[in-house]
């Protein structure tokens, strides 16, 4: 899949793609037995190691904090007052404000300052991905290739500038961020990927475009849909506000602990439900050495299995529809909440649940479960909810994505009123398999600061 995506989506030349194809050493620190790839060309391990450290290890908290700061600053810059401001499109608002903040938390402020067109071109690239994925050559549709080329040029310009201006003293006290490269991840990629056989600035820029697209492509529409559902339903909005205010009181939102925020039950349920409803990505599985027995089925060794999250996410024989009140095709903010007082609650349909005593407080379940309060739960959904893929190649950005979505919704709900000005909310299927479908039409809305 990597080879296909690199070649068609990002235009990475064969001499570089061949390095990926030749790497049979695996993604783990220890190469697979029998593999003879030199350590510096173990591209699978090098890229994954960087992602895991930056997005799941020591880089995660600094990146999350940079996102929180960048998003809060952008909202401040908009200077919304207590009077309503009308805006033409909710989706574009998220692409602009949330998208730039997410790119900034990884690539730093300098990249966007040097390239004010980058976000527009990144979304232009996102729009052309379905064409590129179908292998349409540039002479048939040159416009599908333009934003990609433009992003690559902008990233290369940024590399030159950052090389000239960065030195170790620019690294922030958290040991991760810096104003020029933005994050340890970018410095790592410059050092390690450029040392790999046949790699150069052009191919690295194409890979960095891939990372930027991977970061925003699904996260931003998911954040948008989460906020959309919260603001659309007055009762849900009130509950989210009560929760945010109850948990964080008068605390400045920038001072909150992201690890605490991601445990908020209602916001977590909204997030899980939006991903269930909207993410329709494929991921591939393969077992190189042995057959895998899956109940009545077998995945023979070396063969490829293709799984689409969208199909599993819409399986009404598995998901709880609450007696038909909340069909799988609709948004239900509380689908992932278990209320110990209500045996019909929870994500899994009651007749499919493995454990009949699922509502019993478990000794290891922590405080929430012992005090009989409703709690967020994904128990039993492991093989059915997989917006991030699965196995070792599962999306390494999933923790950051959740923090981004929850923080964005918490800040908007606490500090702003938002009203949609149209009921025309249709989602395109044009991107099926590539991720979240966007809105077919512009969604005008109005926003104002809440009075303090």
Q: Site residues (CB under 6 A) for ligand HEM?
A: 47-48, 51, 55, 106, 211, 214-215, 218-219, 222, 275, 279, 281, 283, 387-390, 393-397, 400-401
Minimum separation from the CB atom of position 357 to ligand HEM (A): 33
**Using the 8-state DSSP alphabet, how is residue 8 labeled?**
I
How many other C-beta atoms are found inside a 10 Å radius of the C-beta of residue 429?
11
CB nearer to ligand HEM: give 87 or 405. 405
CB nearer to ligand HEM: give 148 or 402. 402
Q: Which 3 state secondary structure label does DSSP give 298? A: strand
Minimum separation from the CB atom of position 355 to ligand HEM (A): 28
Q: Return the structure tokens found at 366.
A: 């922590």
CB nearer to ligand HEM: give 43 or 87. 43
Minimum separation from the CB atom of position 331 to ligand HEM (A): 16
Q: Are strands 445-449 and 85-87 parallel, antiparallel or unpaired?
A: antiparallel
Residue with CB nearest ligand HEM? 397
Residue 397 contacts residue 215 (beta carbons within 8 Å)? yes
| H helix runs in 233-264, sequence order | 234-248, 258-261
CB nearer to ligand HEM: give 222 or 447. 222
CB nearer to ligand HEM: give 375 or 399. 399
How many other C-beta atoms are found inside a 10 Å radius of the C-beta of residue 129?
22
Minimum separation from the CB atom of position 192 to ligand HEM (A): 14
Minimum separation from the CB atom of position 69 to ligand HEM (A): 16
200 φ/ψ sector (left φ>0, alpha ψ -120 to 50, else beta): beta
Minimum separation from the CB atom of position 373 to ligand HEM (A): 27
Burial status of residue 359 (CB atoms within 10 A of its CB: 0-12, 13-18, 19 or more): middle
Cα–Cα distance between 255 and 189 in angstroms, integer? 30
Minimum separation from the CB atom of position 258 to ligand HEM (A): 14
Residue identified by tokens 């997989």 is 386
Minimum separation from the CB atom of position 121 to ligand HEM (A): 18
Q: Which 3 state secondary structure label does DSSP give 87? A: strand
CB nearer to ligand HEM: give 104 or 369. 104
In sequence order, what DSSP letters do the residues of 149-209 get, joined into one string?
HHHHHHHHHHHHHHHHH--GGGS-TTSS-BTTTBSHHHHHHHHHHTTSTT--HHHHHHHHH
Cα torsion 190, 195, 198, 202 to 10°: value is 10
Cα–Cα distance between 335 and 328 in angstroms, integer? 10
CB nearer to ligand HEM: give 50 or 340. 50
Residue 86 contacts residue 59 (beta carbons within 8 Å)? no
Q: Are strands 304-308 and 416-420 parallel, antiparallel or unpaired?
A: unpaired
CB nearer to ligand HEM: give 370 or 394. 394
How many other C-beta atoms are found inside a 10 Å radius of the C-beta of residue 139?
7
Helix axes 90-114, 184-193, angle to 10 degrees: 60
Minimum separation from the CB atom of position 368 to ligand HEM (A): 25
Minimum separation from the CB atom of position 81 to ligand HEM (A): 32
CB nearer to ligand HEM: give 144 or 401. 401
CB nearer to ligand HEM: give 374 or 396. 396
Helix, strand, coil content of the chain in percent (nearest 5): 50, 10, 40
Minimum separation from the CB atom of position 220 to ligand HEM (A): 9
CB nearer to ligand HEM: give 281 or 333. 281
CA angle 205, 209, 215 (to 5 degrees): 145
């Amino acid at each position: 899949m990597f080879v296909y995506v690199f070649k068609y989506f990002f235009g990475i030349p064969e001499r570089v793609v061949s390095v990926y194809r030749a790497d049979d050493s695996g993604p783990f620190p220890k190469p697979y037995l029998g593999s003879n790839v030199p350590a510096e060309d173990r591209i699978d391990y090098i890229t994954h190691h960087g992602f895991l450290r930056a997005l799941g290890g020591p880089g995660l908290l600094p990146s999350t904090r940079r996102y929180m700061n960048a998003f809060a600053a952008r909202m401040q810059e908009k200077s919304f007052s207590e009077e309503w401001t009308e805006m033409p499109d909710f989706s574009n608002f998220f692409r602009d404000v949330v998208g730039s903040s997410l790119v900034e938390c990884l690539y730093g402020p300098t990249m966007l300052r040097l390239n004010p067109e980058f976000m527009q071109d990144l979304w232009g690239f996102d729009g052309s991905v379905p064409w590129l994925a179908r292998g349409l050559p540039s002479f048939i549709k040159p416009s599908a290739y333009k934003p990609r080329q433009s992003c690559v040029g902008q990233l290369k310009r940024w590399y030159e500038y950052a090389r000239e201006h960065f030195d170790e003293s620019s690294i922030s006290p958290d040991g991760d961020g810096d104003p020029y490269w933005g994050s340890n991840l970018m410095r790592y990629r410059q050092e390690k990927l450029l040392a790999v056989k046949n790699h150069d600035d052009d191919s690295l820029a194409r890979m960095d475009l891939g990372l930027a697209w991977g970061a925003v492509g699904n996260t931003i529409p998911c954040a948008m849909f989460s906020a959309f559902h919260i603001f659309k339903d007055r009762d849900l909005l009130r509950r989210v506000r009560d929760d945010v205010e109850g948990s964080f009181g008068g605390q400045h939102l920038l001072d909150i602990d992201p690890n605490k925020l991601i445990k908020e039950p209602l916001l977590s349920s909204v997030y899980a439900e939006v991903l269930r409803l909207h993410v329709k990505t494929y991921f591939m599985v393969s077992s190189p050495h042995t057959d895998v027995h899956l109940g009545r089925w077998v995945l023979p060794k070396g063969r490829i299995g293709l799984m689409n999250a969208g199909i599993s996410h819409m399986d009404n024989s598995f998901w709880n529809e609450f007696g038909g009140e909340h069909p799988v095709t609709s948004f239900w903010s509380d689908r992932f909440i278990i209320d110990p007082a209500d045996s019909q609650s929870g994500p899994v349909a009651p007749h499919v649940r493995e454990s009949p005593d699922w509502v019993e407080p478990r000794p290891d379940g922590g405080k929430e479960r012992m005090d009989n309060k409703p709690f967020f739960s994904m128990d039993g959904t492991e093989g059915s909810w997989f917006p991030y893929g699965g196995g070792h190649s599962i999306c390494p950005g999933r923790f950051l994505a959740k923090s981004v979505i929850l923080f964005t919704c918490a800040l908007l709900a606490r500090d702003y009123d938002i009203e949609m000005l149209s009921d025309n909310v249709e989602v395109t299927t044009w991107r099926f398999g590539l991720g979240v479908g966007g809105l077919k039409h512009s969604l005008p809305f109005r926003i104002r600061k809440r009075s303090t």
